[in-house]
């Protein structure tokens, strides 16, 4: 959001448009604790991964920071129901200090706190508030953060009588959103992603997939990757600042915990990582990895990015729910793990994998492009 200057006492007028950082300088700030704005709700039923169901419709939130905290869906009844009196809930991830906003009824897993909002306000205002709160919470790695978060004082803009300036927060987030949308539009144009029209080949593969006409086979990890290795231990105190992404176990920032210059185990781009908890990510850049992360690649077959994304998803599905704190995964254990892949003549059909992922990306990016165009038209 830019640099916050909490010591300015001049007040904004709200009438003259200025750069965002200038607006933030001309604001009077007040200190607030979370219980001024939120109330903790007791969680009575904490679901496990076994309650997740591919046919479920009720979102289940966890402490993970990806997918807005939604780890899956369940057929169970929602414990937290969105109503006119409680239209919005905040879910705080204890291990990741993540904040997610729920506007649909939901359930939760362990290691989260559920909050209601004392004063009904817009999503934009809530985004501002939780961003300010999160910024003040120290990063304790994968330790619990709520014991610190609940006592943190964070800064919000105020008007006279120390009242929170909701109007300013709404205005600022609207302007930030407009800037980000403009940047996204520029990126989509420069990268050619605005073209979301499916080719005939992509349409055919999608139809075959939906109509179950694709033939599948099982392959072990060692069948697909001729290089499978574990990273090497490097403690936080020994990490030297640099430009090499360093990957460790976790989902926050896809596991990238730091940028280093240490001469540690280095791995090539176009690789897949699986950490000790089963978190699986594709890497399109060179990186280093800690000893809690396994790396998979093939230095004889330079697969396309789309193919590697398909393999990443298939591997993730093959180990779903099998590893956690009580049972940790090492890459040496995974050599004979099996994943399902499209086949032709009993061999992996990489062409279908690439085409299918390309088609799915276009379907997804279509929604992004249409959303961007709509927001730009509103802004104009």
Q: Are 230 and 136 in the same domain? A: no
Residue 333 lies in a domain: yes
| Cα angle value 128/154/162 (rounded, 5°) | 90
Q: Are 245 and 132 in the same domain? A: no
Q: Are 206 and 265 in the same domain? A: yes
Q: Are 229 and 337 in the same domain? A: yes
- Closest-CA residue to 252 (of 228, 233, 277, 271): 277
Number of domains comprising the chain:
2
Q: Are 79 and 228 in the same domain? A: no
User: What CATH number is given to the structural domain containing 67?
Assistant: 3.90.220.20
pLDDT tops 70 at residue 15: no
Sorted by sequence, the CB contacts under 8 Å of residue 138 that are 6+ apart come out as 145, 148
Residue 249 lies in a domain: yes
Q: Are 219 and 355 in the same domain? A: yes
Residue 157 lies in a domain: no
pLDDT tops 60 at residue 304: yes
Residue 312 lies in a domain: yes
Q: Are 349 and 223 in the same domain? A: yes
Confidence of residue 176 (pLDDT cuts 50, 70, 90): confident
Domain boundary (122, 152, 182) is at 152
Q: Are 219 and 316 in the same domain? A: yes
Q: Are 143 and 212 in the same domain? A: no
pTM for the model stands at 0.66
Residue 348 lies in a domain: yes
**Residue-level pLDDT at 317:** 93
Q: What is the span of the domain harbouring residue 255? A: 200-361
Question: What mean pLDDT comes out for the span 244-253?
Answer: 90
**Residue-level pLDDT at 5:** 34
| Average pLDDT over the chain, rounded to an integer | 88
pLDDT tops 70 at residue 191: yes
Please state, in angstroms and rounded to a whole number, the distance separating the CA atoms of residues 127 and 83. 20
Residue 82 lies in a domain: yes
pLDDT in tens, 119-142: 878 999 999 999 999 999 998 877
pLDDT tops 70 at residue 4: no
pLDDT tops 90 at residue 296: yes
Q: Are 219 and 138 in the same domain? A: no
Q: Which two tokens stand for residue 165?
A: 């300036």
**Residue-level pLDDT at 47:** 94
Q: Are 84 and 206 in the same domain? A: no
Residue 166 lies in a domain: no
**Residue-level pLDDT at 253:** 85
Question: What mean pLDDT comes out for the span 294-313?
Answer: 95
pLDDT tops 50 at residue 189: yes
pLDDT in tens, 20-42: 667 777 789 999 999 999 999 99
**Residue-level pLDDT at 12:** 39
Please, what's the b/e burial string for 158-186 (b: 16 or more CB within 10 A of its CB; e: otherwise)?
Answer: bbeeeebbbebbbbbbeebeeeebeebbe
CA–CA distance from 201 to each of 2, 36, 253, 351 (Å)? Answer: 46, 56, 34, 11
**Residue-level pLDDT at 10:** 34
Residue 313 lies in a domain: yes
pLDDT tops 80 at residue 17: no
Q: Are 221 and 128 in the same domain? A: no
Share of the chain above pLDDT 90, in %: 64
């Amino acid at each position: 959001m830019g640099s916050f200057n909490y010591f300015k006492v001049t007040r904004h007028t709200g009438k003259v448009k200025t750069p965002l950082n200038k607006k933030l300088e001309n604001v009077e700030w007040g200190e607030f604790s979370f219980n001024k704005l939120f109330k903790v709700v007791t969680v009575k039923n904490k679901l496990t991964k076994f309650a997740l169901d591919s046919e479920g419709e009720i979102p289940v939130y966890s402490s993970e920071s990806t997918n807005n905290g939604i780890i899956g869906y369940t057929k169970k009844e929602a414990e937290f129901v969105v109503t006119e009196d409680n239209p919005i809930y905040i879910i705080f991830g204890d291990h990741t200090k993540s904040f997610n906003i729920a506007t649909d009824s939901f359930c939760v897993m362990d290691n989260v706190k559920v909050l209601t909002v004392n004063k009904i306000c817009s999503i934009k205002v809530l985004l501002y508030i939780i961003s300010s709160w999160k910024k003040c919470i120290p990063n304790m790695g994968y330790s619990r953060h709520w014991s610190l978060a609940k006592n943190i004082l964070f800064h919000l803009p105020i008007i006279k009588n120390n009242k929170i300036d909701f109007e300013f927060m709404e205005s600022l987030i609207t302007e930030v959103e407009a800037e980000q949308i403009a940047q996204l539009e520029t990126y989509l144009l420069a990268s050619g992603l605005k073209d979301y029209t499916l080719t005939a080949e992509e349409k055919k593969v999608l139809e075959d997939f939906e109509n179950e006409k694709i033939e599948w086979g099982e392959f072990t990890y060692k069948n697909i990757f001729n290089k499978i290795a574990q990273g090497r231990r490097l403690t936080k105190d020994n990490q030297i600042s640099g430009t090499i992404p360093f990957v460790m176990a976790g989902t926050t920032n896809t596991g990238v915990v730091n940028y280093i210059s240490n001469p540690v185990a280095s791995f090539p781009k176009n690789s897949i990582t699986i950490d000790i908890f089963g978190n699986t990510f594709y890497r399109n850049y060179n990186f280093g990895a800690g000893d809690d992360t396994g790396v998979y690649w093939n230095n004889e077959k330079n697969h396309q990015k789309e193919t590697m994304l398909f393999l990443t998803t298939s591997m993730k599905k093959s180990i779903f729910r099998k590893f956690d704190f009580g049972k940790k995964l090492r890459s040496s254990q995974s050599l004979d793990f099996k994943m399902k892949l499209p086949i032709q003549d009993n061999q992996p059909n990489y062409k279908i994998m690439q085409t299918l992922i390309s088609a799915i990306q276009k379907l997804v990016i279509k929604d992004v492009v249409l959303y961007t165009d709509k927001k730009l038209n509103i802004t104009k």
